[in-house]
Amino acid sequence: MADTSFTINLIPTGDENDFRTKNEDGEVFRAVMVSSPNDSTLSMRGKIEEIHHGQMTHEGQSHPATLLLFDFRFQSEASRRRYCTAKIVLEFFDQGGVRSKDPIVVEMAPTMTKYLNRTSRTRETKNSATASAQVGQGPFSSGLGFGWEVQETRTSNYSTRVSARPWHSDPSSANENAVIWSMEENGHKKDGVPSFLQTAVLIRRSGNRPFMAKLRVDSKVDFRSTARRIFPLTTDVDHIIDPVTLMPDTTQVRSSAVTGIREDDLQAMEKLPIAQYFCVDEPGGDAAASDLNMTSLSQQPSLLKSESEATVSLNLSLDNGTSA
Polymer length of the chain: 324
Calpha distance 194→183 (Å, rounded) = 8
Q: Are 151 and 312 in contact (CB under 8 A)?
A: yes
Which one of 32-36, 62-66, 174-178, 239-243 scores highest in mean pLDDT? Answer: 62-66
Peptide bond connecting 248 to the previous residue in cis, omega within 30 degrees of 0: no
Q: Residue 242 above 90 pLDDT?
A: no
Peptide bond connecting 210 to the previous residue in cis, omega within 30 degrees of 0: no
Identity (one letter) of the amino acid at 153? T
Calpha distance 39→56 (Å, rounded) = 46
Confidence of residue 307 (pLDDT cuts 50, 70, 90): very low
Is 55 contained in some domain? yes
Is 122 contained in some domain? no
Is 93 contained in some domain? yes
Is 106 contained in some domain? yes
Confidence of residue 157 (pLDDT cuts 50, 70, 90): confident
Is 132 contained in some domain? no
In 3D space, the residue among 311, 284, 99 whose CA is nearest the CA of residue 195 turns out to be 284
pTM score of the predicted model: 0.72
In 3D space, the residue among 132, 152, 150, 151 whose CA is nearest the CA of residue 142 turns out to be 132
Residues 10-56 pLDDT 10s = 444 444 444 445 656 666 655 444 344 555 677 778 888 999 999 99
Q: What is the pLDDT of residue 9?
A: 52
Q: Are 65 and 200 in contact (CB under 8 A)?
A: no
Total tally of structural domains belonging to the chain:
1
Domain that holds residue 282: 5-117+160-287
Q: What is the pLDDT of residue 240?
A: 58
Is 320 contained in some domain? no
Q: What is the pLDDT of residue 50?
A: 93
Residues 90-135 pLDDT 10s = 999 999 999 999 999 999 999 889 999 888 877 777 777 666 656 5
Which one of 7-11, 80-84, 94-98, 137-141 scores highest in mean pLDDT? Answer: 94-98
Calpha distance 267→282 (Å, rounded) = 35
The 3-state DSSP class for residue 270 equals helix
Q: What is the pLDDT of residue 208?
A: 93
Is 297 contained in some domain? no
